[in-house]
Amino acid sequence: MEISLIDAAIKGFMNILHLKVFLAMCVGVSIGTFTAVAPQGLGMPLVYAIMLPVVIKWEPVTGIALLIGASSVSAICAAYLPVLFGIPGGSGSQATVLDGYPMGKRGEAKRALGASFMAGGMGCLIGTFTLAAAIPAAKPLIYLMGSPELFVVVLWGLSMVAVLAGRRPLKGLIAAAFGLLLATVGQQEQSGIMRFVFDQPYLLDGISVSIIALALFGIPAALDLALMRLGVEQQPAPLTGKLFDGVKDTIREWWLVVRCSFIGVWVGIVPGIGSQVVDWFAYGHAAQSCKGGAATFGTGDVRGVIAPESANDAKDGGDLVTTLLLGFPQGVVTALFIVALLAWGYLPGPEMIKKNPEVIYSVVWIQGISGIVGTLIGFGLSTQLAKLAQVRYSVMVPIIFIFVLMGAFSVTRDPADLLAVVGFGILGYLMRRFGYPRPAMILGLVLGSLMERYLYRSMASYGFTWLARPAVMVLLILAGTSFFFAVRGRMKSAARNDDDS
């Protein structure tokens, strides 16, 4: 029986009023904070890949609390590395380096951090409110969508890989096709036919997404640390200045925070833009719209920290809109979140809105509360957290080794897990080395099983006539048009560069 959205919102809140859920959220927030602060190696995709095999055995809301708790704060405290070392703390905080590091070098590191915590917390809340508002707004539209429409929506998301793959769209599509192919390894759910199993019992259930994600992201990330010898060959800026100055700056620039937060939400919702650009969009907007920005941005202007940090945090709310309401992820983290939801028996998208709206609202509540807790942790423990950012590679690399090897081996405890993690680790290194985007492969891998499910249902129910459904045709036109314009824009820019040279 369906329940009203207000009842679902209340029930979603009641679901999280359990000690173990609250504790899981706090552990998630702590993990997310550590991940954001620790030297580059531990990105959120890696953390999700490590936690996935563990949390899918938990009760759903407790597992959701851990995962969302971690990801919702990962951007709030992401300014430590940009401000102290002048290196990006992860995707979404690259633009922060431009003004954060000059502030750090001139003795205003704490002011920059205070601004980033406050802007991040406000951005997170704006993103969460948008997510909450999107559920009732999208519900009538979502009810019109069946398997054929959802297949086209997922296909649309995948086609955007070509746009996301920057200067090498073909490589992005090849990586996505490879992910789709890997998703079909094992026994087919619908027919029971073995595909690419080669008489290996290990491959019967397919290759674990956790192992692939751990290897693809963990191994190259730790290699970066080992190559750069962070903390040994690179020294941080001094942690001086006042946190509260940054808070005052952010409150004074509240309208900039609101504008950039909505840029973040928009980037999260629109298929195919991704976290790599959210900070640059916000930074570019701020540099153009702020008074005197053209002259001061890039030299240590606090608005150059506020803009990207608020957008980066708000983006998570937008990401969850498409993940929960349409069932397709915008990046690796939400792709792995979908894997967890599927393992708990939820099918993200219209089916989840119809059958489990209270779980969606639990996600909303956890997202908002975690954002507040993460901001408070940032303010309360700024000095201690700064020490974490200075952990040497010689400590971080073995920690990553532990989590990657233990995370992979815990999936089935089969020695073949070790072979798989080594193989995919080397593949991840080579993909990164030769410009094949790893997120495209993960998107293909996760969306592959959803695509096959929707395609099978569409073919079984309608044959090829599903292609003539009006909503399918509209979505195909939208997908085709957005793909065409994206590719045309790229060709124009290449032609323009040709003329320039």
By CB under 8 A, what part of segment 30-69 binds another protein?
A: none
- Which of 21, 76, 277, 475 is in the footprint of another protein by CB under 8 A? 277
Minimum CB–partner distance for residue 319 and another protein (Å): 15
- Which of 13, 58, 178, 379 is in the footprint of another protein by CB under 8 A? 178
- Which of 22, 379, 409, 483 is in the footprint of another protein by CB under 8 A? 409
* Cα separations in angstroms, 433 against 224, 421, 455: 11, 18, 34
- Secondary structure string (H, E, C) spanning 274-299: CHHHHHHHHHHHHHHHCCCHHHHCCC
| Contact indicator for 309, 93 with CB cutoff of 8 Å | yes
Long-range residue pairs from 469-472, CB within 8 A, at least 24 positions apart, any chain = 469/148, 469/149, 471/144, 471/145, 471/148, 471/149, 472/148, 472/149, 472/152
Judged by CB under 8 A, the chain residues 428 through 447 that form the site for another protein are 429-440, 444
Number of H helices, E strands in the chain: 25, 2
Site string for another protein, 67-106 (x = CB under 8 A): ------------------------x---------------
Q: Does residue 397 interact with another protein by CB under 8 A?
A: yes
Judged by CB under 8 A, the chain residues 6 through 35 that form the site for another protein are none
The residues, any chain, with a CB within 8 Å of residue 470's CB and separated by 6 or more, are: none
Identify which range of 61-69, 360-368, 374-382, 399-407 contacts another protein by CB under 8 A. 399-407
- Which of 11, 18, 26, 276 is in the footprint of another protein by CB under 8 A? 276
- Which of 98, 152, 203, 222 is in the footprint of another protein by CB under 8 A? 222
- Of 60, 403, 414, 437, give the one whose Cα is nearest residue 208: 414
The letter for the amino acid at 425 is: G
Q: Does residue 244 interact with another protein by CB under 8 A?
A: no
- Which of 133, 137, 204, 494 is in the footprint of another protein by CB under 8 A? 494
Minimum CB–partner distance for residue 68 and another protein (Å): 23
Q: Does residue 1 interact with another protein by CB under 8 A?
A: no
Q: Does residue 398 interact with another protein by CB under 8 A?
A: yes
| Contact indicator for 123, 282 with CB cutoff of 8 Å | no
279-332-181 Cα angle (round to 5): 140
For another protein, give the closer residue by CB, 232 or 477.
232
- Of 320, 310, 359, give the one whose Cα is nearest residue 9: 359
- Of 338, 282, 271, 339, give the one whose Cα is nearest residue 309: 282
Judged by CB under 8 A, the chain residues 180 through 199 that form the site for another protein are 180-181, 183-184, 188, 190-191, 193, 195-196
